[in-house]
Amino acid sequence: MVNMDSDLRNRVVRPTQRILTGRVVRFMDGYPREVRIGQPVLVAVLTAASVAGLLVMLVRAALSRAGGGARRTWKDLKKGPEFLVTPVRVRDDKGLLYEVELHGHLPQSAVHPSDWVQLTLRPQDVDLPPRIERIVNLTTGQLLTPRTATVWSHLGPPLLIQAVLGAVLVLLVAAAVVLT
């Protein structure tokens, strides 16, 4: 008996065009992939946030003896967020079977196997199939954009606000030093 997956794997093609139109054949099992975070970005954000953090610590110490919240470690921040990668098989009107990757999440009822879709693709690393940037579900008329975690969502609004305040503080001190 021939294994259907190994038979499909032999006939799967990677699309080279930016737009692919076809029927969704199958959603494969998803797996996590990590977003890479550049060390210079992380150092800049944490340095600026530390300036504001020191000021907040001084104010907090002067007003009360309450401790601050738990902070994430350098290792946790550097690791980066993970996002779901789901390989998708799509068959075009010529009968060719393509594999693409869906990064992130979509509403559960957004796309089903056998739906006719138009995919906007973005190339990735040469070892990886292109990723889906946008989906037009021609069966239901829905326009869908998968969303993944980003460096900024991983760092979080509190740390980013603290970094902006720290950068503003450093600029104010630098301006005062230059003007005096």
Tokens of 155: 């760092």
Element (H, E) at 27: strand 19-27
Which three-class secondary structure state does DSSP give residue 109? coil
Q: Which superfamily is assigned to 11-34+82-144 in CATH? A: Nucleic acid-binding proteins (2.40.50.140)
Domain ranges of the chain: 11-34+82-144
Which three-class secondary structure state does DSSP give residue 4? helix
Separation of alpha carbons 155 and 120, rounded Å: 29
| HSE, side-chain direction, 13 A CA sphere, residue 164 | 7
Burial of 109 (0-12, 13-18, 19+ CB in 10 A): exposed
Tokens of 36: 């890479």
Q: Is residue 164 within 8 Å of residue 152, measured between CB atoms?
A: no
Tokens of 33: 């992939």
pLDDT digit of tens for each residue in the chain (180 aa)?
444 554 444 588 888 889 999 999 999 998 888 777 767 777 777 777 777 777 777 666 666 554 555 566 767 766 767 788 999 999 999 999 999 999 888 877 889 999 999 999 999 888 899 999 999 999 999 999 888 766 667 677 777 777 888 888 888 888 888 888
Q: 13 φ, ψ to 5°?
A: -115, 150
Q: What is the pLDDT of residue 139?
A: 92
Residue count of the chain: 180
Q: What is the pLDDT of residue 13?
A: 86
List helix spans (H) across the chain.
4-11, 39-63, 74-79, 151-155, 157-179
